[in-house]
Chain A
């Protein structure tokens, strides 16, 4: 746990940003992750007063405030009907309901954790992050950016027509995933995102032509799994070896692809 001398519930994003420029201060989302470390902090910066704990939806997109909890996303009807339940599937295995009532999407995405289910899922969607200073950038670009002291204000998900599916493998219920796979089809391409490699999630985009269109759905799904296993690097950690992860990729991507296949 961290200790702090001051707790500040900020009134504006500018105030939060100014405070966050100091290394001795700490911005918290749900604080579930930062609590695991030990630090002496000057000021804890809390965004709960900025009404950023909401999911707004219009014809074009979802705008998800950074303080929205994982549980809110998991239960959101619009997000789940758009993704055919894939959002819920990517979140419901994370620890427990009480945990997900605390953990925020802002902390989850800003943290860019290798094991992240939700980062893996959002990468396979037409998603962007809105940074206070950095503006709107595609999530796929944000993932590989060096960490700075900006503030993630919202996640934007465009409602590009598509199909989505999510699968993960865990050694035990509520553990981190050993491998996470999200597969989607939109803008006439397959998007395969693999997380818990164990490194940060990576996205592979495959135009339909580059795999053989003559194949049956089943054959195509199998070949997409094999293609992903060849092109996305994986490693070994205590949850599984690289060789095991390559096998998991083939199986999970095949299943997710079948689930997300347009009829």
Chain B
């Protein structure tokens, strides 16, 4: 079947199998940040934006993205780099495998709620699992990023 979508600003028109998952489609199109961390819709590692809203690409048919805009971490490089530096500063991660999904969903949070409190941060990111850390470093990183943003985002 035919699929037409916009991927990170580039229009695509492709022939796909009807049961292709969005995750596999994206990886086949060079978006290697999109990973499968579980097989059960639980880990959040496969998070991408569909028309700006975060979804699980492992549990979404590529066919359903027809006519829509899909954004992956590859399409948000600048925004992501700025934020990820604060996570790195805290030494929050160990293996870093969870990072792409976590960064995507954190960016989704900041778009929906630019000034979240700790409870709101924890609630929004509850669906992003990390097997190495205790989430404390990530939380500190988010809080210092938000503080920095509030102060005008200067070094």
Using a CB–CB distance below 8 Å, which chain A residues touch chain B?
Answer: 1-7, 9, 28, 30-32, 35-36, 44, 46, 48, 92, 95-99, 101-102, 173-174
Contacts and interface: CB of A to CB of B under 8 A. Distances in A.
A98 B21 contact: no
A4 B19 contact: yes
Nearest to B40: A36
Contacts of B39: 1
B18 A98 contact: no
Q: Which secondary structure dominates chain A's binding surface?
A: mixed
Interface in B109-155: 109, 123-128
25 contacts: A1-B21, A2-B19, A6-B18, A7-B63, A9-B63, A28-B61, A32-B41, A35-B59, A36-B41, A44-B19, A46-B61, A46-B63, A46-B64, A48-B64, A92-B123, A95-B41, A95-B42, A95-B127, A97-B127, A98-B127, A99-B56, A101-B55, A102-B56, A102-B60, A174-B42
A98 B54 contact: yes
A21 B74 CA distance: 42
A98 B64 contact: no
A98 B47 contact: yes
Contacts of B50: 101
Interface residues of B, number: 29
Contacts, number: 78
Interface string B1-45: 100000000000000001101000000000000000001111010
B105 interface: yes
A101 B53 contact: yes
A97 B42 contact: no
Nearest to A75: B112
B130 to A, nearest CB: 13
A229 to B, nearest CB: 30
B108 interface: yes
Given A101-B55, A102-B59, A174-B42, 12 more contacts: A1-B21, A4-B18, A32-B41, A36-B41, A46-B61, A95-B127, A96-B44, A97-B127, A98-B44, A98-B47, A98-B108, A99-B42
A102 B55 contact: yes
A23 B124 CA distance: 38
A3 B59 contact: no
Interface string B47-90: 10010011110011101100000000000000000000000000
A31 B50 CA distance: 16
Contacts of B55: 98, 101-102
